[in-house]
Copies of this chain bind each other. A is one copy, B any other.
Amino acid sequence: MPFAVIMAGGRGERFWPRSRMARPKQFLNLIGEKTMLQLTVERVEDLVGISDTYVVAGAEFKDTILEQVPKLPEENIIIEPFGRDTAAAIGLAALVLGQKNPREVMIVLPADHYIGNVRHFQEVLRSAVATAGRGDKIVTLGITPHSPETGYGYIHRGELIDTFAGIPAYQAVRFLEKPDRARALEFLSSGDYLWNSGMFVWRIDMLREKIEKHIPSLAKGLKEIKDSLGNDHYEKTAKKVYSELPKVSIDYGIMERADNVLVIPCDFGWDDIGSWTALERYIEKDELGNVLHGEGVLVDTVNTCVISKDKTVALLGIENLIIVNDHDSLLICHKSRAQEIKKVVQALNDQGFDKVL
Interface residues of A, Cβ cutoff 8 Å to B: 16-17, 295-297, 299-300, 308, 311-318, 321, 323, 325-326, 328-334, 336-337, 340-341, 343-344, 347-348, 351, 353, 355-356
Residues in B with CB closer than 8 Å to A353 are 295-297, 312
A316 with B300: CB separation less than 8 A: no
Min distance, Cβ A312 to any Cβ of chain B, angstroms = 5
Residues in B with CB closer than 8 Å to A330 are 296, 308, 311-314, 325, 330
B314 with A329: CB separation less than 8 A: yes
A348 with B312: CB separation less than 8 A: yes
Residues in B with CB closer than 8 Å to A321 are 318, 332
Beyond A323-B332, A330-B308, A330-B325, whether A316 also contacts B299 by CB under 8 A is: no
Some 25 contacts from A to B, beta carbons below 8 A apart, are A295-B353, A296-B330, A296-B348, A296-B353, A297-B344, A299-B344, A300-B337, A300-B343, A311-B325, A311-B330, A312-B328, A312-B329, A314-B331, A314-B347, A314-B348, A315-B333, A316-B331, A316-B332, A316-B333, A316-B334, A316-B337, A316-B341, A318-B321, A318-B333, A318-B334
Min distance, Cβ A303 to any Cβ of chain B, angstroms = 14
Across the interface, A311 reaches (CB within 8 A) one of B312, B329, B343, namely B329
**In the bound complex, how far is the Cα of B297 from the Cα of A311, in angstroms?**
21
Across the interface, A317 reaches (CB within 8 A) one of B308, B317, B334, namely B334
Beyond A317-B336, A336-B317, A337-B317, whether A347 also contacts B297 by CB under 8 A is: yes
A322 — nearest CB in chain B belongs to which residue? B316
Residues in B with CB closer than 8 Å to A326 are 311
A344 with B332: CB separation less than 8 A: no
Residues in B with CB closer than 8 Å to A317 are 333-334, 336-337, 340
Min distance, Cβ A93 to any Cβ of chain B, angstroms = 36
Report the 5 A-B pairs with minimum CB-CB distance, sorted nearest first: A317-B337, A317-B334, A297-B347, A316-B333, A314-B344
**In the bound complex, how far is the Cα of B326 from the Cα of A313, in angstroms?**
10
Min distance, Cβ A321 to any Cβ of chain B, angstroms = 7
A311 with B332: CB separation less than 8 A: no
**In the bound complex, how far is the Cα of B315 from the Cα of A347, in angstroms?**
10
Residues in B with CB closer than 8 Å to A315 are 331-333
A344 with B331: CB separation less than 8 A: no
**In the bound complex, how far is the Cα of B337 from the Cα of A316, in angstroms?**
7
Min distance, Cβ A69 to any Cβ of chain B, angstroms = 31
**In the bound complex, how far is the Cα of B356 from the Cα of A311, in angstroms?**
9
**In the bound complex, how far is the Cα of B315 from the Cα of A15, in angstroms?**
14
Beyond A311-B328, A311-B329, A329-B311, whether A316 also contacts B295 by CB under 8 A is: no
Max count, chain B CB within 10 A of own CB: residue among A311, A323, A330: A330
